Amino acid sequence: MRAYILRRLLISVPLVFLMTFVIFAVINTNPQSALDRYILNPNISFQVIEQVKEQTGFYDAMPVRYAKWLSGVLFDIRFGRRRRSLVSFADARQFPEQFGADTVATVATEPGTLSDAHPHLRLTDTQHTAQRLADLHPRTTSFRIEYDVLALPESDKAKPNGHPPPTPRLLLRLQGANTTNVLETAAVLHAAGANTLHATAPMLRDTGLQGYPLEQFDLTLEGDARVAIRSVGAGLDLYTLVQPDRRRPFLAIAFPAADTALTLRQPGSPHVTHRLRRTDWNPTGKPVGATEDGEPILTEDAFRRLVLDVGNPSDQPAAYELRLISGPPDTPTATAVRFELRPMERGDRAFSLAQLEAEGLDANTVREIGFAALGPSRLTVYRMELELDGPPAAIGGIPDFGRSHDNIPVIEKLAGRIRNTVALVVFAMLITWIVALPAGVIAAVRQYGLGDKTLSFLTFVGMSLPSFFLAVLVRTLLQETANPDSILSFLPTLPNSGRTSIHFDSMTTWQQTLDLIRHAIAPTLVLAMGGMAGMQRIMRGTMLETQRQPYIVTARAKGLRERTVICKHALRNAITPFVAGFGSILPALIGGSLFIEMVFNYPGVGQMMYPAVLNRDLNLVMANTLIAALLLVLGNLVADILLAIVDPRVSYD
């Protein structure tokens, strides 16, 4: 017997997982539809949608997603240290046009001071500045001039003609090479102090100068004043978002010159969604409580290193810098670590926590991440992850079915529901056997009699009525019995929905038990009705066939009592098909409980699975599928064991 059970399990368990793979593949035929509830909700940003895609493995191949799900089910087996995604880029197709990055490259520092005696400053006359503009112009989208107003004319001082002096202005004039396109913009100098003059991207685009080489870059002071130009910067369109079909979006950065950088700023920026929470970077783990001695209890969220999945798409080797900003906002600390990539190389670049802290990083207050080039180059950023501390391989000990759409662990959602459904199904099976077995025997012994015809009529009605229709009919009758004005008010009153009463918590233990039984009577009887009718017909047919066997005729000829002939000889041989059907009735009852639970508002697995299937809640549906498949295997195994007990001719040795 043991060898048979082991052999059956070795055959059945792989078939169970094969069935779950087929269901998994069917659900994933259109994985986009599982995200429709997020995409079609205008209150959910695409940053949240991208995070959901990361959590659900949307960008992974279907076999990879199934392998991850299976490793969690098989006692949460994990190979490799866990990683938390730090950056996920937004879908580029949500943006009809490319837009400039919030990044400025320095063109010139302290180029000069403008005054009444020297009102003009032409930056293109300086060889270094002219070369810098030439290097940056293919990706320049805007310019920014930072200046300090050092002196202004006295407002009460009038000109000889009696009029007050005109308000001074700082004028910026740009002209393209070999073209007459000119851009002029000015800033009025009202007060002393620092200020900024902008030539925005729309201005450059409207004048045809965006991405065009400049022949003149002039600053002119109009009026009596003194202005110091602190810096001239160029806003650069450094990046492009690339969204391959059914693959993770990535960021393609083009650095036109050295010392150009792209910063991934705070969450919610239009070009990237990322999480810079302190708990993501906490090197010691997030405290979740304290011991009796006051020692903090930490989670396993401590990270050991930062891992970049990056590539160099050019045919030349390139060097880059990873820049991180940490510390308080008023006194931030910049940390830069260098890495290199060979031509056409894609790979991981890892930086340990110790290495980053040695460079001055405060891992508890990381606020910005950026990339800089040490020369003209290109960089592709695929992923940025924090590798958490922990063993390289681990077994969780209990199956992990993942999380549902509402971020609740699936095993936690199923625990109470499975208990309710199993109780419902077990009692329905007991009622089915207790009623169907004697009813089939009575109908066979009294063939074509009044009892046989009555039972046949009732079983035909029970088999022909759909379970959901019978459930609605029974609930309607229960509602009528609860109505004092109804003609059915004389019947006993039973609850018509739910699992417990409103005042369940205030009841005693005995009262709670009775309340649970009263609420379970109606759904249990309705669930048992269909199986009861079918099993009664099976029992009647096998008993009729058995009574015609020669050994039954011989038993009667020996003068044995009819009761002994029926119960000892006929029933034991006729019950074989009845027992064999146990393997199929168990999953059938669980599947049929869906309609019963919905009609009677009974909190079982079926009631929870229906919306889960509609919403394509993959983890919840797969957990229910696996449990149903295991119950099918268990039911058939129990049926085989019972068959060997009731029929001596069956042996598994």
In DSSP terms, 143 is beta-bridged to 199, 234
What tokens does 284 get? Answer: 């010691």
- For residues 305 and 387, the answer to whether their CB atoms sit within 8 Å is yes
CB contact set of 445 (below 8 Å; sequence gap of 6+): 543, 547, 566
Helix (H, G, I), strand (E, B) or coil at 179: coil
- For residues 345 and 378, the answer to whether their CB atoms sit within 8 Å is no
DSSP 94: G
Grade residue 96 by pLDDT with cuts at 50, 70 and 90: very low
CB contact set of 55 (below 8 Å; sequence gap of 6+): 403
Q: Residues in the chain, how many?
A: 653
Supply the pLDDT for residue 478.
85
Tens of pLDDT, residue by residue over 536-559, are 888 888 899 888 889 888 988 888
Tens of pLDDT, residue by residue over 183-227, are 899 988 888 888 889 888 788 888 888 778 888 899 999 888 899
Query: Is the pLDDT score of 101 beyond 60?
Result: no
The count of C-alpha atoms lying within 13 angstroms of the C-alpha of 278, restricted to the half-sphere facing its C-beta, is: 9
Supply the pLDDT for residue 272.
42
Query: Is the pLDDT score of 258 beyond 70?
Result: yes
Distance separating alpha carbons of residues 23 and 283, to the nearest angstrom: 41
- For residues 535 and 585, the answer to whether their CB atoms sit within 8 Å is yes
- For residues 260 and 269, the answer to whether their CB atoms sit within 8 Å is no
Supply the pLDDT for residue 95.
40
Supply the pLDDT for residue 91.
44
Supply the pLDDT for residue 97.
37
| Nearest one of 615, 588, 612, 319 to 432, comparing CA atoms | 588
Supply the pLDDT for residue 296.
55
- For residues 65 and 28, the answer to whether their CB atoms sit within 8 Å is yes
| Nearest one of 453, 447, 441, 413 to 617, comparing CA atoms | 413
CB contact set of 362 (below 8 Å; sequence gap of 6+): 326, 327, 333
Tens of pLDDT, residue by residue over 105-155, are 788 888 889 988 889 998 888 888 888 888 887 778 788 899 999 888 775
Handedness of CA 22, 23, 25, 30 (dihedral sign): positive
Supply the pLDDT for residue 98.
35
Grade residue 278 by pLDDT with cuts at 50, 70 and 90: very low
Angle at alpha carbon of residue 342, lines to 336 and 347, rounded to 5°? 75
Grade residue 275 by pLDDT with cuts at 50, 70 and 90: very low
Tens of pLDDT, residue by residue over 604-647, are 888 888 888 887 788 888 888 888 888 778 877 887 888 777 77
List strands edge to edge, sheet with 318-326.
Answer: 261-264, 368-373, 318-326, 333-341
CB atoms within 10 A of CB 460: 12
Grade residue 34 by pLDDT with cuts at 50, 70 and 90: low
| Nearest one of 119, 88, 121 to 107, comparing CA atoms | 121
Query: Is the pLDDT score of 234 beyond 70?
Result: yes
Distance separating alpha carbons of residues 558 and 251, to the nearest angstrom: 92
Q: What is the mean pLDDT of the chain?
A: 80
Distance separating alpha carbons of residues 271 and 277, to the nearest angstrom: 18
The count of C-alpha atoms lying within 13 angstroms of the C-alpha of 130, restricted to the half-sphere facing its C-beta, is: 10
Distance separating alpha carbons of residues 33 and 358, to the nearest angstrom: 47
Mind spelling out the 3-state secondary structure of 460-485?
A: HHHHHCCHHHHHHHHHHHHHHHCCCC
Query: Is the pLDDT score of 266 beyond 70?
Result: no
Strands 303-311, 377-388: pairing is antiparallel
Q: Is 30 buried (19+), middle (13-18) or exposed (0-12) by CB count in 10 A? A: exposed
Q: Give the rounded distance of the alpha carbon of 269 from its chain centre.
A: 21
Concatenated DSSP letters of 78-92 = EES--EEEEEEPPPG
Average pLDDT in the 521-542 region? 86
Query: Is the pLDDT score of 13 beyond 70?
Result: yes
CB atoms within 10 A of CB 513: 11
What tokens does 26 get? Answer: 């069917």
Angle at alpha carbon of residue 280, lines to 42 and 71, rounded to 5°? 85
Distance separating alpha carbons of residues 196 and 170, to the nearest angstrom: 10
CB contact set of 544 (below 8 Å; sequence gap of 6+): 444, 447
CB atoms within 10 A of CB 110: 10
Higher-confidence residue: 61 or 316? 316
Domains of the chain: 104-236 (2.60.120), 241-252+274-393 (2.60.120), 410-646 (1.10.3720.10)
Concatenated DSSP letters of 334-359 = EEEEEEEE-TT-EEEEEEEHHHHHHT
- For residues 170 and 189, the answer to whether their CB atoms sit within 8 Å is yes
- For residues 286 and 388, the answer to whether their CB atoms sit within 8 Å is no
Distance separating alpha carbons of residues 21 and 18, to the nearest angstrom: 5
CB atoms within 10 A of CB 191: 7
Distance separating alpha carbons of residues 263 and 369, to the nearest angstrom: 6
DSSP 31: G
